[in-house]
Amino acid sequence: MQDFVKLLGLKHRREVAGKSAIFNGEHFVLEETDWYLLNLFRLWWHYGISFLRLQMWVEEVMEKFMRIYKYQAHGYAFSSLEELLHSLGGEAFINMTQRSVAESLLEAGVTQRFVDDVIAAVLRSSYGQSMLLVPAFAGAMSLAGAQGNTWAVEGGNKLVCSGLLKLTKANVVNARVTSVSLHSAEGKPLYQVRYEDEQGQDSGFYDMVVIAAPLHHGKSTLTFENFDPPIPELLGSFQPTVTSVVHGYLNSSYFGFPDPKLFPFASILTTDTPNLFFNAMDNICPVNISSSFRRKQPQEPAVWRVLSQRPLDKQQLKTLFRSYYSVQVTEWEAYPYYDSAKTLPPIVLHDNLFYLSGVEWVASSVEMISMAAKNVALLAYNRWYQDLEKIDQKDLMHKVKTEL
């Protein structure tokens, strides 16, 4: 994503400082302060060296994960998610998609209290589900993001997508794909893609097709025709996540601050507490931040984004906000529900028919999908030109070191 931002001449959005805290439904279990050393001291006081162990665990995973950028720079690709993970971190990385982040962290010496207070809160905010379900690999990605080095694009992240489309001069057909059927031409497969829009139905023939939307059972209406054996149905379900963007006055009393002026937090995470009706909320900033921009004072009306598993009812909105001007609700089928499928989806569905979105079952983020998209592009290219030495190679770390 960094490369795309550079290539398109875009900029990172300016950071606006804001403190976070973790709420357990009754009080804050951890509060960030303005002082770095005090934050460290608090972490140490509450949780011993757990946060250092967490940091070492995350860094080890990220260091290995980042090998992918080197492999891709040398044109190497992988035909399955298992091969990709194995080349980065061996069997351990594959195991990290099968066992929970909580289990892995406890094994790495992180205490149960730290897991219950801090890890649970980060995962409820990023994946809307319990750390007992989220696999260790997805957990590591999300915990790496929680260390404060994430960024957004000035003007909105969507500028990356629109900029790339323009740059590639892609011919975009704005329509819903309904089916892909297999034909052949001179012994080579040819795929007919049918689509529909308000004007009606149409289709086109393609040498290669990449499906970049979830195909999982119940989620997709796209069908595959003429394939023998048929394209298997992918099992698994998705975790609903509701975002409510509320413009209003925060009810700071609910969080134990009767005087709204004294409420210091811009981001509130929550622990896995039964009956706690929201996962996280944060005071959001516009996509363009001018030099004079400042966060609203806590007693002023501000725009908050609340993440919850179900739409908030009136009573719940009243609990979080003293009063509000507007609420915009979006219900997402956000991320895989991680307990529901244990095998990773395939990348190659047929000779030149590829599936991209399966990588979300390893971890769901814009960076992951970009990395997987580059893998599919390299894979399709290498297969097309029969450059098989660039596919599923073993011992790549050694190979890329010795290649010029």
Ligand X SMILES: Cc1cc2nc3c(=O)[nH]c(=O)nc-3n(C[C@H](O)[C@H](O)[C@H](O)COP(=O)(O)OP(=O)(O)OC[C@H]3O[C@@H](n4cnc5c(N)ncnc54)[C@H](O)[C@@H]3O)c2cc1C
Sheet with 28-31, strands from edge to edge, namely 28-31, 19-23, 265-270, 280-283, 302-308, 238-250, 321-336
d(CA 350, CA 380): 11
Between 153 and 396, name the residue whose CB sits nearer to ligand X.
153
Residue 243 binds to ligand X (criterion: CB under 6 A): yes
Closest CA to 387 of 5, 77, 57: 77
Between 293 and 332, name the residue whose CB sits nearer to ligand X.
332
Between 180 and 396, name the residue whose CB sits nearer to ligand X.
180
In degrees, to the nearest 5, what angle opens at C-alpha 157 toward C-alphas 156 and 160?
Answer: 115
Residue 205 binds to ligand X (criterion: CB under 6 A): no
> In a 10 Å sphere around its CB, with 0-12 CB exposed, 13-18 middle and 19+ buried, how is residue 247 labelled?
middle
Between 179 and 393, name the residue whose CB sits nearer to ligand X.
179
Tokens (6 digits) for 147: 């260390």
Between 364 and 382, name the residue whose CB sits nearer to ligand X.
364
Strands 19-23 and 265-270: parallel
Helix (H, G, I), strand (E, B) or coil at 266: strand
Residue 176 binds to ligand X (criterion: CB under 6 A): yes
Among 261, 332, 384, 403, binds ligand X (CB under 6 A): 332
* Residue pair 181/225 in contact by the 8 Å Cβ criterion: yes
Among 241, 252, 308, 352, binds ligand X (CB under 6 A): 241
Among 235, 329, 366, 397, binds ligand X (CB under 6 A): 366
Residue 293 binds to ligand X (criterion: CB under 6 A): no
Among 7, 165, 212, 262, binds ligand X (CB under 6 A): 212
Residue 20 binds to ligand X (criterion: CB under 6 A): no
Query: Which residue stretch of 68-76, 87-95, 264-272, 363-371 sits at the interface with ligand X (rule: CB under 6 A)?
Result: 363-371
Query: Which residue stretch of 105-113, 315-323, 359-367, 386-394 sits at the interface with ligand X (rule: CB under 6 A)?
Result: 359-367
Q: What is the DSSP letter of 103?
A: H
Q: Minimum Å distance from CB 308 to ligand X? A: 11
d(CA 6, CA 353): 30
Query: Which residue stretch of 33-41, 77-85, 260-268, 358-366 sits at the interface with ligand X (rule: CB under 6 A)?
Result: 358-366
Contacts of 223 (CB under 8 A, 6+ apart): 178, 179, 180
* Residue pair 228/212 in contact by the 8 Å Cβ criterion: no
Among 104, 365, 375, 382, binds ligand X (CB under 6 A): 365
Q: Minimum Å distance from CB 347 to ligand X? A: 13
Residue 158 binds to ligand X (criterion: CB under 6 A): no
Residue 334 binds to ligand X (criterion: CB under 6 A): yes
Residue 369 binds to ligand X (criterion: CB under 6 A): yes
Residue 382 binds to ligand X (criterion: CB under 6 A): no
Closest CA to 351 of 260, 227, 252, 168: 227
**Count of residues that interact with ligand X, criterion CB under 6 A:** 15
d(CA 12, CA 276): 34
Q: Which spans of this chain sit near ligand X (rule: CB under 6 A)?
A: 176-177, 212-213, 222, 241, 243, 332, 334, 357, 364-367, 369
